[in-house]
Structure 1
Amino acid sequence: MPRLARLAILDDYQGVTLRLGPWERLAHLDITVFRDTLADQDALAERLAPFDAILAMRERTPFPRGLIERLPELRLLITTGERNRGIDAAACAERGVVFCGTPSFGAPTVDLTWGLILGLARRIPEEQASLRAGAWQQGLGVGLEGRTLGLLGLGKLGRRVAKVGQAFGMQVIAWSQNLTAEAAAAVGVERVEKRELFARADVLSIHLILSERSRGLVGAAELAAMKPTAFLVNTSRGPIVDQAALIAALQEGRLAGAGIDVYDIEPLPPGHPLLSAPRTLLTPHLGYVTEENYRAYFAGAVEAIEAYEAGAPIRVITG
């Protein structure tokens, strides 16, 4: 295949992509880095029209069919990570666009999940704020030992989160639509029914892929089943939880707190109702944002470009 000419790197919020990848291997390529996200499809199509290669950072910018069909020069579309449900793979194939992914490093979302759980349970943000304001020991946290960790999803990440919970001395229960009692027991977890999961959990952590089956899966009824002393943590995808129902539960004191890393709209706009919701610990979608993971992403992106130009694309995503 002929060499690529122009690469657009999208949504580099922190301005670190060129520093963390071996881009010097692509000296022939004209690389443009965009640090902002364009939601307007007309403006986005105009911006990306000149590029024959694009690197998308996770799902920050979706690529539906309508956008892909407006990019006549596009030949290679890379997503960081092994999959991206925001990119229409079928449209890429029909347009002759090679769509491929990159490796990742470890399971950094597990770290952040436990950071949110511990921050909520031990009131770390509140106690730090009061200490800096000159106060001392303003509230009581809760310990995790002997409490119940409920996992909505027991896949790769869910199992890693379960191991940490077990190390803290927690009882771990789980439910998902495809989870069997045997699969749960194999990792020391009790498989329960959906309502029981929400009713028993002292900490409920979500580890599902966003799909039509999981969208809105945690709604008003599920939140109403939870203990008023329980915490909800979502490091998966925002639309899995009914945002309005969650805010209402927090405002009415029906949940002890929520740790949220993912949102219906990203970046989260100023004035978003979650920003003023009580008893929340909010982070800006940091689950995958580590230096090690970024280095794996960008090294993989360079490899993908080299492989494409050599006529042997790698890590091609077809669906």
Structure 2
Amino acid sequence: MKIAVLDDYALASPRLADWPELGDVTVFQDTITGTDLVDRLRPFDVICLMRERTPMGADLIAQLPNLRLIVTSGPRNASIDLPAARAAGITVCGTQSRKTTTSELTTLMMLALNRRLLPEVANLSAGGWQSGLGRDVAGLTLGLIGLGNIGAQMAVIGKALGMDIVAWSPNLTHARCTELDVARAENLTDLMARADVASVHMVLSDRSKGLVDAAAFAAAKQGQVFINTSRGPLVDTGALLDGLLAGKPAMAGLDVFDVEPLPLDDPLRDPDLIASGQLLLTPHLGYTTEATFRLFYTQTVEAIRAYQAGTPIREL
């Protein structure tokens, strides 16, 4: 059985799980698209995905006649065309996931931006000393766009740091806000107007794509720090860049992007915004921790073994 492990940028899979005896395993560290991707994947019986790094749409699936099993990290993957896979007789399985990694990164970005950590580090490295003043988060308002699992974790963390919490999403209920003891904004512009820190924690869908738009940034509170560690397309990137140039928001931290890896010519790679500390970019680190990847790859191996034994597990 020929097995492909895709998009393992850090080459973590060989050391985090026991792959021997499964078959002929090939690990790819890069992400490619188009006909090159089809040519690469055509020989494989099993494809192991790392989240949505390589989408498995119907067109791609139709060009992989040897494919019998897809295993994705995580319990769901919206980038896999499940009906197309089922129609082709392909089994699709997932893994469990861990719950706190993204909220930890969001907190790190929030503190780094408010305390001007990176500009001060850069100034010290260049031979200087203190060049500005940071901002305490205690007493600020944390606005959560989405109050699911990760949003709820951020509410707890924000309260522990002495912040007031307000939340909004299209389907957010008063009952959910009462359960978590947070205020509920009337709409997105209301949340943006109240939040000193606004953080996105929503699932990407056709309805939520581009949700945070120019109107939202125009309503942003003076001095706002905006953070997106959820999914890139939830935010209108052009509107965000225009907003940063206008000072609304004052700063932004992004861990997710419309296209990943982020192209070298992407407008977000603005050297002035980055050097000034106004824009913090990280390469989708929200879930990339050793414990999380150990779980992903260990359970990927379990899924392949179970399929080989004729008893697939965690089918999607």
Query: 231, 239, 254: which one pairs with 2:233?
Result: 239
Q: Quick check: 1:79–1:100 contact (8 Å CA) kept in 2? A: yes
Deviation at 1:294, TM superposition (A): 0.3
Match of residue 63 from structure 1: 56
**TM-score, structure 2 as length reference:** 0.96
**Deviation per CA, 1:282-312, whole angstroms, max 9, x where unpaired?**
1000000000000000010011011111211
Match of residue 316 from structure 1: 315
**Alpha-carbon distance in structure 2 between the residues aligned to 1:239 and 1:141:** 30
Q: Quick check: 2:193–2:219 contact (8 Å CA) kept in 1? A: yes
**Alpha-carbon distance in structure 1 between the residues aligned to 2:16 and 2:178:** 41
Tell me how large the CA RMSD over aligned residues is: 1.0
**Alpha-carbon distance in structure 2 between the residues aligned to 1:210 and 1:269:** 21
* Number of positions where the alignment pairs a residue of Structure 1 with one of Structure 2: 310
Q: Quick check: 2:223–2:247 contact (8 Å CA) kept in 1? A: no
Q: Determine whether 1:99 maps to 2:92.
A: yes
Deviation at 1:105, TM superposition (A): 2.6
Q: Which runs of 5+ in 2 are unaligned?
A: none
**Deviation per CA, 1:109-144, whole angstroms, max 9, x where unpaired?**
011101110110000001111111222211011111
Query: 13, 18, 21: which one pairs with 1:17?
Result: 13
**Alpha-carbon distance in structure 2 between the residues aligned to 1:156 and 1:178:** 14
**Alpha-carbon distance in structure 2 between the residues aligned to 1:206 and 1:138:** 30
**Alpha-carbon distance in structure 2 between the residues aligned to 1:134 and 1:45:** 50
**Deviation per CA, 1:242-293, whole angstroms, max 9, x where unpaired?**
0000001112222210000000111011121111162101100000000000
Q: SS of the counterpart of 2:47? A: strand
Match of residue 263 from structure 1: 257
**Alpha-carbon distance in structure 2 between the residues aligned to 1:282 and 1:316:** 35
Equivalent AA in structure 1 for residue 232 of structure 2: G
Query: 71, 85, 90: which one pairs with 1:78?
Result: 71
**TM-score, structure 1 as length reference:** 0.95
**Alpha-carbon distance in structure 1 between the residues aligned to 2:193 and 2:143:** 9
> Compared with structure 1, are the counterparts of its residues 262 and 28 closer, same or farther at alpha carbon in structure 2 (3 Å cutoff)?
closer
> Which piece of structure 1 moves more, 131-140 or 90-99?
131-140
Q: Quick check: 1:158–1:207 contact (8 Å CA) kept in 2? A: yes
**Alpha-carbon distance in structure 1 between the residues aligned to 2:251 and 2:50:** 30
Deviation at 1:28, TM superposition (A): 4.4
**Deviation per CA, 1:75-116, whole angstroms, max 9, x where unpaired?**
100111111111111111111100111122332001110111
Q: SS of the counterpart of 2:51? A: coil
Match of residue 37 from structure 1: 31
Match of residue 296 from structure 1: 295
Match of residue 3 from structure 2: 7
**Alpha-carbon distance in structure 2 between the residues aligned to 1:228 and 1:170:** 17
Q: Quick check: 1:205–1:234 contact (8 Å CA) kept in 2? A: yes
Q: Quick check: 2:57–2:81 contact (8 Å CA) kept in 1? A: yes
**Alpha-carbon distance in structure 1 between the residues aligned to 2:58 and 2:265:** 31
Q: SS of the counterpart of 1:83? A: coil
Q: Quick check: 1:106–1:293 contact (8 Å CA) kept in 2? A: no
Q: SS of the counterpart of 1:272? A: coil
Equivalent AA in structure 2 for residue 258 of structure 1: A
Residue identity (%)? 49
Match of residue 42 from structure 2: 49
**Alpha-carbon distance in structure 1 between the residues aligned to 2:233 and 2:98:** 25
Match of residue 113 from structure 1: 106
Q: Quick check: 1:250–1:257 contact (8 Å CA) kept in 2? A: yes
